[in-house]
């Protein structure tokens, strides 16, 4: 099936999904979760092909970690799917209703977006997260993953399509683009007759390409040049613990810390401990490169004169993703919360919490850094729109 026919089939299935009850959608999700666990051997076998190719191509260890699937991770993906199934249904919610002087009653009803296109890179868990969130919100999905995860993605979609069929829902509710060339991706970006919304999820280059080439409305999931700012009143051990988590737990993800800012008053006491802890974890320190998303064990460091300089630096170099202040000064925390321009702003907590699961959404389609419709982790509500419903009694204008 060619790309446009895939999109047509998925768009047609979207009308079925939009009018399918929550029980049927939840049944499909639970079958997907069970099928993933039952197919663990075939999924791992497919993933091993991708891992070997990644190793042969010299892909970095952090990126290989993002690509790798094992029994534990597959169980985690299945459990996340069950958590999405357990979430309340957002479809059909009435968001306000009012009566006009002419007797018309007007309301807003929450409805699916339709067919959502997802273009993403080497993270096979995104294949399942995106599909199940779209399905739960009554949408269909067209997936275009990167070549690095090709075999994993094909197998995961096969398993999910089979589960959809068992649930009595259209197999075309989930489509995957098997040609991973740039030309095919560009063609997909222009299928505005069929795809309602396009969501890129990956590095800066991918997101830039989608924004510049798409004729479909785009929800950007941004890159993450995230900062941790150690204020002059910070607890040093708390600052170290937060930084270690934000930088080292998973350095290859978008909510990892890339730049450390330290108030000059606390720098003589904090920096020696920080340098020792980072050295123990093989983190390279750079006193520059403030506009780079490393996605690796590399950390930029800068000493600032005060909180105002820290905020100015973040607003200049940050990507409006996730920012953290470590402080015991309430006024400083409130200033930081108010003046930092980002989707998620933390006081005394790691930026690694910017995640749909951690926010209670079950999973996420991505983390939006734009300001229209969706911002931050995008869960079910962000995958819907509204339609106006109007009740009359024969009125004419």
The CATH number assigned to the domain with range 3-221+365-391 reads: 3.40.605.10
pLDDT of residue 202: 79
Query: Which of 180, 253, 193 is closest to 221 using CA atoms?
Result: 253
* DSSP labels, 299-314: EEEEEESSHHHHHHHH
pLDDT of residue 113: 97
Q: In which order are the strands placed within the sheet that holds 105-112?
A: 94-99, 105-112, 384-391
Query: Which of 131, 153, 154 is closest to 141 using CA atoms?
Result: 131
pLDDT of residue 357: 80
Longest Cα pair distance anywhere in the chain, in angstroms? 77
User: Domain 226-353 is of which CATH architecture?
Assistant: 3-Layer(aba) Sandwich (3.40)
Query: Which of 149, 32, 152 is closest to 80 using CA atoms?
Result: 32
Q: CA 94 to CA 389: how far, in whole Å?
A: 9
Query: Which of 168, 158, 155, 160 is closest to 134 using CA atoms?
Result: 160
Token pair of 58 as six digits: 């010299």
pLDDT of residue 276: 98
Give the start-to-end residue ranges of the domains of the chain.
Answer: 3-221+365-391, 226-353
pLDDT of residue 195: 98
Q: CA 293 to CA 253: how far, in whole Å?
A: 10
Token pair of 204 as six digits: 């800066």
pLDDT of residue 393: 97
pLDDT of residue 340: 98
Name 237's Cβ contacts closer than 8 Å, sequence gap at least 6.
none
pLDDT of residue 365: 85
Q: CA 186 to CA 7: how far, in whole Å?
A: 14
pLDDT of residue 366: 84
The series of mean pLDDT values per 10 residues for the chain, 397 residues long, is 94 97 98 98 97 93 88 95 94 94 97 96 88 97 95 98 98 96 94 96 85 92 92 98 97 94 98 98 96 94 98 97 98 98 98 90 82 88 95 97
pLDDT of residue 18: 96
Name 276's Cβ contacts closer than 8 Å, sequence gap at least 6.
none
pLDDT of residue 308: 98
């Amino acid at each position: 099936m060619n790309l446009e026919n895939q999109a047509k089939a998925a768009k047609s299935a979207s009308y079925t999904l939009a009018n399918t009850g929550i029980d049927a959608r939840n049944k499909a999700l639970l079958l997907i979760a069970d099928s993933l666990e039952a197919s663990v051997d075939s999924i791992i076998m497919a993933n091993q092909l991708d891992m070997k190719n990644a190793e042969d191509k010299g892909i970095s260890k952090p990126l290989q970690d993002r690509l790798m699937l094992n029994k534990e991770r597959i169980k985690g993906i299945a459990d996340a799917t069950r958590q999405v199934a357990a979430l309340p249904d957002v479809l059909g919610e009435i968001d306000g209703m009012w009566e006009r002087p002419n007797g018309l009653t007007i309301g807003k009803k929450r409805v699916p977006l339709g067919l959502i296109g997802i273009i993403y890179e080497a993270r096979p868990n995104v294949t399942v997260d995106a599909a199940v969130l779209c399905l739960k919100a009554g949408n269909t999905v067209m997936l275009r993953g990167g070549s690095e995860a090709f075999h994993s993605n094909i197998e995961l979609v096969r398993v999910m399509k089979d589960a959809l069929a068992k649930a009595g829902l259209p197999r075309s509710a989930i489509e995957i683009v098997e040609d991973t060339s740039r030309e095919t991706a560009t063609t997909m970006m222009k299928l505005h007759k069929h795809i309602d919304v396009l969501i890129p999820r990956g590095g800066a280059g991918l997101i830039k390409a989608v924004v510049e080439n798409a004729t479909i409305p785009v929800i950007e999931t941004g890159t993450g040049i995230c900062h941790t700012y150690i204020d002059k009143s910070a607890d040093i051990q708390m600052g170290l613990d937060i930084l270690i988590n934000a930088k080292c737990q998973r350095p290859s993800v978008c909510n990892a810390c890339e730049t450390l800012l330290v108030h000059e008053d606390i720098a003589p006491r904090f920096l020696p401990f920080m340098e020792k802890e980072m050295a123990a974890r093989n983190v390279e320190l750079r006193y520059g490169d403030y506009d780079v998303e490393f996605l690796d064990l590399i950390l930029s460091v800068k000493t600032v004169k005060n909180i105002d300089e820290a905020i100015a630096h973040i607003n200049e170099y940050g990507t409006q993703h996730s920012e953290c202040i470590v402080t015991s000064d309430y006024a400083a925390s409130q200033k930081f919360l108010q003046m930092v321009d980002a989707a998620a702003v933390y006081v005394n907590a790691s930026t690694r919490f910017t995640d749909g699961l951690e926010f209670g959404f079950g999973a996420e389609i991505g983390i939006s850094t734009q300001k229209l419709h969706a911002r931050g982790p995008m869960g079910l509500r962000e995958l819907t729109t509204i339609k106006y419903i109007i009740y009359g009694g024969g009125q004419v204008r």
